[in-house]
């Protein structure tokens, strides 16, 4: 505990010294990462590709769901007339079909998430490079992402809003 207290005191002293020294003025930038990402030329193309893939999965899910419902209705209609062995066989088929449908839905969700990551990767890489270049040119020590209200207040005397610069550079 004493050691932790000593470290905190030492860090506080160092920070006070830097704060008093006017030559050590650290400046930072801030922006909305999502807004910047959405301002890229290819963002709409990526979103359209994702929507297309999603619609394909939804169509397939609808098809297998309809297939299951049809077999289930046939089972309900004939269950009074089926011998026990056929009844058990049909129940097993329905259970297997339902399990396969559930597995397909989960796999679809995972595949959509993977596809989104893969399609967005080049955009995010380009955005990161643009932010790094602008921060370097402007002499910024770091850049803060203001999405999700992560920084409810930023003093403009110390921070620079680089939203417009980044968005313009990405167009």
The structure tokens 């005397």 sit at 157
**What phi and psi, each to the nearest 5 degrees, are found at residue 83?**
-65, 160
| pLDDT reported for residue 171 | 82
pLDDT confidence band for 3 (50 / 70 / 90): low
Q: Which segment of 19-28, 91-100, 151-160 scores lowest on mean pLDDT?
A: 19-28
pLDDT tens-digit profile of 5-30?
Answer: 545 454 455 455 555 554 556 899 99
pLDDT tens-digit profile of 42-89?
Answer: 999 999 999 999 999 999 999 999 999 999 999 898 888 989 999 999
- Residue 142 and residue 124: Cα distance in Å, rounded? 17
β-pair partners for 143:
29
* Averaged pLDDT, 152-160: 86
pLDDT tens-digit profile of 131-145?
Answer: 999 999 999 999 999
| pLDDT reported for residue 50 | 96
Q: pTM for the full model?
A: 0.69
| pLDDT reported for residue 12 | 55
C-alpha distances (whole Å) from 166 to each of 32, 36, 40 are 10, 7, 10
């Amino acid at each position: 505990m004493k050691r932790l207290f000593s470290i905190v005191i030492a860090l506080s002293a160092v920070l006070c010294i830097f704060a008093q020294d006017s030559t050590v003025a650290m400046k930072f930038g801030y922006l909305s990462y999502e807004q910047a990402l959405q301002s890229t030329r290819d963002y709409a193309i990526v979103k359209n590709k994702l929507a297309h893939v999603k619609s394909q999965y939804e169509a397939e899910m609808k098809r297998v769901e309809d297939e299951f419902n049809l077999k289930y209705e046939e089972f309900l209609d004939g269950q009074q007339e089926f011998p026990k062995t056929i009844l058990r066989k049909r129940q097993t088929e329905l259970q297997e079909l339902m399990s396969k449908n559930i597995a397909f839905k989960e796999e679809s969700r995972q595949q959509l998430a993977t596809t989104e990551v893969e399609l967005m990767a080049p955009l995010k890489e380009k955005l990161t490079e643009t932010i790094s270049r602008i921060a370097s040119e402007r002499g910024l020590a770091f850049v803060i992402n203001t999405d999700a209200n992560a920084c409810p207040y930023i003093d403009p005397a110390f921070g620079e809003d680089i939203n417009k610069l980044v968005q313009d550079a990405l167009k």
